[in-house]
Structure 1
Amino acid sequence: MATARPIYQQLSKNITAYPPEEAREMAFMLLEHYFGLRKADVLADKTLPPNRTEPDWFRIIERLNRQEPIQHVIGTTIFCGLEFEVSPDVLIPRPETEDLVRLIMHDFADREEVVRVLDIGTGSGCLAVTLARFLPQSDVTGWDVSEEALAMAQRNADNLKADVTFERQDILNVPASETRRFDCVVSNPPYVTRSEAADMDRNVLDYEPEVALFVDDNDPLIFYKAVANFCTQHLTKDGACYVEINERFGEATRQVFEERGFRHIQVYKDIHGKDRSIRATF
């Protein structure tokens, strides 16, 4: 009977575009995705499921060695314990973005009345869907400029049984007819400057949407200014704004909110000690 370890060893050996440790982690991810085997199962050399459908390993290895993200190869990724569909149409959810969910849950988990949430630049819908699932008292809306992203976000909401309203909207051009107010505004906007692209890996540059990643160097905080401006008119008195930020512009982004009347602004660091998110209230 076929067992897990030989396949794991072959995958680890043949995924050559990454350092050995990363290749081994990818092999574990592939075996879990296709056969439902956890890392402990692989290390214990468990028998493979008898009714398994064998994937085209050669094709998978070929794609990974072109540095196509493994999340695109298997079609999904895990965010806050939930499985989200991803594709080149949306930014792959990152673990550091989970910090925004934790901040919001800390602030609103005990609130009994409805929490009106707006996710600006929803992409895959990871923030909007997760908040709709974990905050049962929430009323969540997700905005994006991309029809393809909105379609994927809706599929993720349907698959995860989350009640979210998705709308095509550009935070840089919000119509005057928009009068709704929100208790929680959250955004992970584009914040990588064009000049930083030279230091980025191919698996990001070649396979993830530019519109979700990059801003011009001459105005790197354009989306934070737009979000903060929007909040001055549309955030409730006791509401809060949460944004993920570029580590290079922590203080500058804090000043954007301060200049627009926010009085309580906290910059949070990620697990690597880098400025990564901001919580701002009036």
Structure 2
Amino acid sequence: MTTAKSLFDSLVGQLEGYRPEEARAIVFLLLEHFLLLRRTDVVAGKPLPTNPPPPDWQELISRLNRHEPVQHLIGTTEFCGLEFQVSPAVLIPRPETEELIRLIVRDYAETTPSLNLLDIGTGSGCIAVTLARFLPQASVVAWDVAEDALEVARQNATTLLAEVVFEKRDILNVGEETRRFDCIVSNPPYVTWSEAEQMEPNVLRYEPHLALFVEDRDPLLFYKAVADFGRTYLNPGGACFVEINERFGPQTRQVFEERGYGNVHIFKDIHGKERFVKANK
């Protein structure tokens, strides 16, 4: 194969179990990452570069056909225009979560000279790092229970020049805390185990279950914990922003209302699904 187009067509043809547009998007990512080829290079049939050297394409195709996420193959993903490192230790950031960032930035970009912000369950650090970059007045703290996730998050903060304080903390067992916050954000585990069989195999097999799943008997466990924590540690007028399971929008709103929060609103994502709750103390 001598051209980018012929290689592209060959790789797309070897992918199994993907929708055509999905297969093309994956191969575009591979060619850009490994050979520095842009989409326009592929479409124009540009000759294949001799440098950098090509990867083992068959190994990559084999991994993809086992439904390993392409982000794990290339080691990064884009989120809010920033490139984040990812690994099997963390959830791959989703486009829907970018909308959560926009909700927060919209509220705080020009209204507060200072902002103490806490991200609970930070994972890759995508929320904490992005908010630290987009809200320069913010002092950002980020918690996670998993040390391997925190290591990825610290690497992202270093690479992306974001000042974030990372701590190994469990919202279900907080212990002693002396600080107060103006904003608490969380994208906690919210997929119930009964929903697992409906999930794509690339998520179910390769992303951390600790960050994904919650028991069916108490699907709002983490929202109760976040709301309880905020009731004590949010400054007056502070707000909680959480990403939610679309099945439990009204129930999640009720969690915050029962704990004395006001102006509790549900926001829909780009697909029209109830995806976020904002609650003011």
What range is the shorter-chain TM-score in?
Answer: over 0.9
Say whether the 8 Å CA contact 2:116–2:181 is kept in structure 1: yes
Say whether the 8 Å CA contact 1:17–1:66 is kept in structure 2: no
Query: How many angstroms does 1:112 deviate by?
Result: 4.5
Residues 53 and 225 (structure 1), Cα distance of their counterparts in 2 relative to 1, 3 Å cut: same
Q: 2: distance between equivalents of 1:277 and 1:186?
A: 10
Query: How many angstroms does 1:181 deviate by?
Result: 0.8
SS at match of 2:107: helix
Counterpart in the other structure of 2:97? 97
Counterpart in the other structure of 1:214? 213
CA RMSD of aligned residues (A): 1.2
Query: How many angstroms does 1:47 deviate by?
Result: 3.4
* Runs of at least 5 residues in structure 2 that lack an aligned partner in the other structure: none
Q: Which moved more, 1:177-186 or 1:46-55?
A: 46-55
Counterpart in the other structure of 2:28? 28
SS at match of 1:265: strand
Identity rate of aligned residues, in percent? Answer: 61
Q: 1: distance between equivalents of 2:177 and 2:138?
A: 20
1:56 is matched by which residue type in structure 2?
D
Q: 1: distance between equivalents of 2:41 and 2:133?
A: 30
**Once the two structures are superposed, what CA deviation does each residue of 1:5-36 show, in whole Å capped at 9, x if it has no partner?**
11111111011131222111111111111223
Query: How many angstroms does 1:111 deviate by?
Result: 3.1
Counterpart in the other structure of 1:269? 268
Counterpart in the other structure of 1:58? 58
Say whether the 8 Å CA contact 2:35–2:51 is kept in structure 1: no
Aligned residue pair count: 281
Query: How many angstroms does 1:50 deviate by?
Result: 3.8
TM-score when scaled to structure 1?
0.97
Counterpart in the other structure of 1:162? 162
* Runs of at least 5 residues in structure 1 that lack an aligned partner in the other structure: none
Aligned runs of 1:133-144 on 2, under 5 Å?
133-144=133-144
1:207 is matched by which residue type in structure 2?
Y
2:38 is matched by which residue type in structure 1?
R
Query: How many angstroms does 1:37 deviate by?
Result: 2.5
Counterpart in the other structure of 1:171? 171
Q: 2: distance between equivalents of 1:201 and 1:54?
A: 29
Say whether the 8 Å CA contact 1:17–1:64 is kept in structure 2: no
SS at match of 2:206: coil
Query: How many angstroms does 1:53 deviate by?
Result: 2.1
